Amino acid sequence: MKSNQLLGWYEQLLSQSNTMILQAKNGHWEDLIESEMIYLQSVEVILMEQLNDGYASITQKKIHPLLNKLLANENELKCLLSSRMDEIRSQPSAATQ
């Protein structure tokens, strides 16, 4: 695998992650679930390619900032989902009415 291809995959992963943040912020929960599935599949492909081919340390340096942003997005998404769960819990359910 070429390092530019790997870098491109990480950039695409970051783009997917940014889309998921927007979906959560806009309350598009069903779209978020679909995006999460695609995101997880993408992560799996990237990891498998890296395990099979490895990559140079220079590529690691280029990917590092993308990984930091991906982790920050994961934390933000976790907070948004937690807020959504709190919102759902606070709503009276149809079963109790």
pLDDT of amino acid 48:
85
Residue 72 CA to residue 85 CA, distance in Å, equals 20
pLDDT of amino acid 65:
93
Please classify residue 20 by burial: count the beta carbons closer than 10 Å to its beta carbon, then call 0-12 exposed, 13-18 middle and 19+ buried: buried
Q: Is the pTM value of this prediction over 0.95?
A: no
pLDDT tens track, the chain, 97 positions: 577 888 899 999 999 999 999 999 999 999 999 999 999 999 998 888 877 776 666 677 888 899 999 999 999 999 999 999 999 999 887 545 5
pLDDT of amino acid 6:
84
The two tokens of residue 58 are: 């220079």
Domains of the chain: 3-83 (1.20.58.380)
pLDDT of amino acid 63:
87
pLDDT of amino acid 58:
67
